[in-house]
Every structure is written in structure tokens, then in C-alpha cells.
Amino acid sequence: MIAGRHPSDHSPARVLVVDDNPTNRYVLRTTLSRAGHTVVEAEDGTGALALLKDADALPEVAVVDVRLPDMTGFEVCERIKADPATAALPVLHVSASAITVDDRTQGLNRGADAYLTEPIAPDELLATVTATLRYARARRRAERLADRLLHLNEATLLLYSADSAAGVARAAARGASIVLGAPAVAAIISPHGEPASAACAGTGGQASPDAVADVRLDARDLPPHHGLGDRTGTRLATVHARDWPGFPHGPVSRGRLTVAVARAKPGRQPVCLAVPAEAVATPDDEQLLAQLAQACALALEALRSYTEEHDLALTLQRSFLPETLPDSRLADLAVRYLPASDHAEIGGDFYEALPTRGGLLLAVGDVAGHSLDAAMLMGQVRHALRAYAIEGHPPHGILGRLDHLLAAVGARLTLTLCIVFVDETTGLLHIANAGHLPPLLRTPDGSVRSLDEHGPLLGIGLPHPVSTEVAAPPGSILVMTTDGLVERRRENLEVSLERLESALGGLPADVERICDGLLEAFPPNGEDDIALMAVRLTGDGRSLTL
């Protein structure tokens, strides 16, 4: 039966009559059949229970005689009520012999919904069956509505969990299919103005994620007579699938559609949810589809706000970073900066490359957290670092001054920072590392080593050791990165760093290809920013050899 359809309280029903007396069964069958009911019969309790177990369609009410040859009607009733498949089946006891108050009390206490004593007036029998059906059907409708409201809540959660317009469309199509028990299509316009649509071929419990597929359908092509116009809110309209250009072929496109059109803010393109028209047969169905469409519109609006906030954060974040890399005869440089896609707020990863009077200063750092405070501190540190470098301070002197600066401005965040100074006179690398990931050095013979010497991170006021001097022959490759490249939830950091060394050893000497190769070996997971710098030392100046 199509979800959404249910019989009215007075419509005929399928009735099970259980009585060992053929005459009684005939009387009951005749009375019920003349009222339009469909009657199925059993002459004992065993037959009745077997019929219920094997039935393709369960009866809506059972009329059970109390005195049966194999078991009492009370036992039949108890076994019906004990089986989850038939527990909601109303049982009406009838009897010509068990007519005392104790008999009727026992029957009702053991699960019966009504108790009539024979002879039974036809009108009384029919009225009792109708009243029993009215209650049972109302109960089933309430239980079904509660179940569908639960599915609606789950679908709404999926909508608000989606991180893209395509994800919203898929969640909406699947949600409509689960809630209404019918195939569904969702069509929306992304925050960037691009169509995103999905279809779910499953129904009800079969509407798994695998049943959802992206389709090519533009919500803007929906015929305009849906009634929403430029207003906000939700409207339901009936259209034919052939009148919606591009509507996908499949279970939903066989005829007339009920389409819910919703808009959360003026000026936005509406979202559209379409299901077969026969799936929306009651006011409850209409309300559920409308509420899901409205939730879809609100989820899309939330995604739009997130996207705008994220884009603004990225613009601000990139404004704190160098616009270009310097041309230097000492080294070829390449960088990659990938902000975390899972965060709308700004991160604190940064890099710097600055020619100075004595050589080339390189730095990669990471302020803890994702927030405007982290980004502002990153900007302050980067500008101070440039100033201290231009003044000619060595790397460890820069770290010490930055620590004093953090204390002076009352910074509540810590940061890690690795500074490498390439001496143009000696070719030596002067390295000072404040708790950052160690840089990697690959020499022309292909060997890779980690430059592990480091001091405490910045912001805790501890002294920093003197810079370490490392000799690197011309053609050596230096790689500096933030932890977003290598940190993975289910992998030990030391293992990741070993993999990083191995990956670097197999890459060509071109710094651009090194950056691309490392990002391919460590695909970004979107959880943290990545700042990656690759440096090829050219050897201009007095380069030393190992």
C-alpha cells in the first residue's frame, strides 16, 4: 500500500471470524458481509493462529468465540497479543455460554477489546466492530505519524549535517523517500548559483544512501504555477513530470508529481522536493512534505551563511600571508597553503620568505587553534618576525624577541615556529625551532634526514637555545611544513613523519613538483590548515659540503 493511504474509520475491513459452530460462523459472516466487510474464517484456535501467521494481509479485527475445541478464545487472544506482528489486532469475544460477569471480566483482562454475548443483534455487532475499528485505526495512524515524525527529525538532522549543496540535495531526496515511503527527487540551487539535484529510488526502509544518486535537474526550470512566486514559505503544487524540463527518468517520473517548493529568504531560488502524487494522500502527508521542504530551505540557508563566512575567513586569512615569494639567487622556492575546509573560522598557519642583508630567511609557523584571535596573533608574529629579521637578528634571537612580544601583548595562545636562515656567505643553514615539526633536508645523493634540534614553543616564556648550523651542498632540498599535512587521527605522528621522509626521497628536484607530490602522498583531510614550503638551495655563495 502506498504510504500515506489509510482507510477511513467507517470503511469496510477484513475481519477474521473464529468459531467452531458452522451456524454461528454463517450468521456472523452474513451480518459482516452485508455491511461490506471481507470475512475470513477459522473453526478453531490453531487454524486461526496459522492463518494469521501466513496471511499476506492481516485482518483489521478478529471476532473470536470463547469456547473453541482446541483452546479457549482467551488463549487465542493472549497469543495474538503476545506476537509483535499481531499485537495491535483488536479482538472481539463472542459467546453463548460464557456469559457471566466473571467470564466477561476474564476476557477483557486477558486482552480482549470487546465482549458480546449471544444472541447478538446485528446492529450491535456492527456498531461494536465499527467502534473497535475506529479506535484501532486511530491508534495506527498516530503510531505511523509518530514514526514518520521521527524519520522527519532524522532527515532534518541529515540536512543540517550536509557540508555541500549536493549533500543537501541527497539528504533531502533520501529524507522524503523515507518519510513518505516513495521515490523522491530534490532540486536546489547552491550558494554559488549552481544546480544541485539528487534522486532516491528506494522507499521507506530501503532508502539507503546507496539508493541516492546525483541527477541533472535545474530547480529554476520548474513550471512557475506552483504558487509560491517571490514569497517566502512553502507551497505544494501538482505538476506532470513531462512539464519539468530535464526531470530524470525513473520511478518518480511516471506521471503526476506533488512538488513542495520552499524559500527561507526573499530573493533566493526555492528548493523543490518532488514525489509521486499518489504518495501524498492525506493532510498529514502534505504537512510532512512541506516541513521537510522548509527544513531543506533552512539548511541551505545555513550552508549559504557558512559558505559566505568561510570565504570571508579565507580572504582575511590569505591577506595575512605573503602575496608573492621573493626571487633569490640562493634558493628556488615553492609554497602551498591549504586552509581547513572543515572550519569556517580562520587558522593560524603561516609562512615567510624574506631576503635580508646577509642571506635568505625562511619560516613556517602555526598558532594554536582556529579563531580570529589566532589569525590576528599570526599577523602580529609574522610582521614582527620580518622586522626582527631586517634588523639582522639571528634565528634564535628572533625567537627570543617574539617570546617577549607575546608576553608584552598578553597573548593567551601559543605557537610553534621554525626559522631557517640561509647564509649567503657560507651557505650554512642556521636553524632555530620553537616546538615545530622538524624540517627535512634531502641532499643531492638522495638521502633524507630530519633536522630534529628544537627548543620550547613560543608563548610560555622559556629560553631558546642557540641556532643550530647545518651544512647543505648545492642542490639540497629543504622541506618545512605544519602538522596539518601529516597529522592523522588513526596514525602515530612518528609513523607519518617517516612516511614523509620516504615520500620526499622519491620526488624530483623541482620544488613545485615536490609540493604537489607531498600533497598527493598526504591528501588533505580538511581538519587542519596546511602550510608547506619546499626550498632548493642553488649554492650561490660559499656553499659548504657535508
DSSP state of 454: -
Residue-by-residue DSSP string for 311-337: HHHHHHHHHTS-SSPPPBTTEEEEEEE
Helix (H) or strand (E) holding 376: helix 372-390
Conformation bin of residue 229: beta by default, left when phi > 0, alpha when psi is -120 to 50: left
- 366: which residues sit within 8 A by CB, 6+ positions away? 348, 349, 350, 415, 416, 417, 436, 482, 483, 529, 531
The Cα 5–Cα 285 span in angstroms is: 9
| Under 8 Å between Cβ of 425 and 542 | yes
| Under 8 Å between Cβ of 86 and 80 | yes
- pLDDT tens over the chain, length 546 residues: 333 445 556 789 999 999 999 999 999 999 999 999 999 999 999 999 999 998 888 999 999 999 999 999 999 999 999 999 999 999 999 999 999 999 999 999 999 999 999 999 999 999 999 999 999 998 888 888 888 888 888 888 888 888 888 999 999 999 998 888 889 999 998 888 889 999 888 765 555 666 788 888 888 888 776 667 778 888 888 888 888 888 887 666 667 889 999 988 888 888 899 999 888 988 889 999 999 999 999 999 888 887 777 677 667 667 667 878 999 999 999 999 988 765 545 667 899 999 998 999 999 999 887 677 777 788 889 999 999 999 999 999 999 999 999 888 877 788 999 999 999 999 999 999 999 999 999 999 999 999 998 899 998 888 899 999 999 999 999 999 999 898 887 788 889 999 999 999 999 999 999 999 999 999 987 778 899 999 999 976 543 332
3-state secondary structure of 110: coil
| Under 8 Å between Cβ of 450 and 471 | no
Class of domain 320-537: alpha beta
Cell numbers 595562545 correspond to what residue? 413
Locate the domains of the chain by residue range: 14-138, 162-311, 320-537
DSSP E strands: which ranges in 44-103? 61-65, 91-95
Residue 486: CB atoms within 10 A of its CB come to 21
Cα first-last separation, the chain: 81
Sheet with strand 429-434: strands edge to edge: 347-356, 359-370, 415-423, 429-434, 468-470
Assign a CATH topology to domain 14-138.
Rossmann fold (3.40.50)
3-state secondary structure of 152: helix
- The residues with which 367 forms a beta bridge, in sequence order, are 348, 415
| Under 8 Å between Cβ of 544 and 537 | no
Evaluate whether the domain defined by 162-311 bears CATH number 1.20.58: no
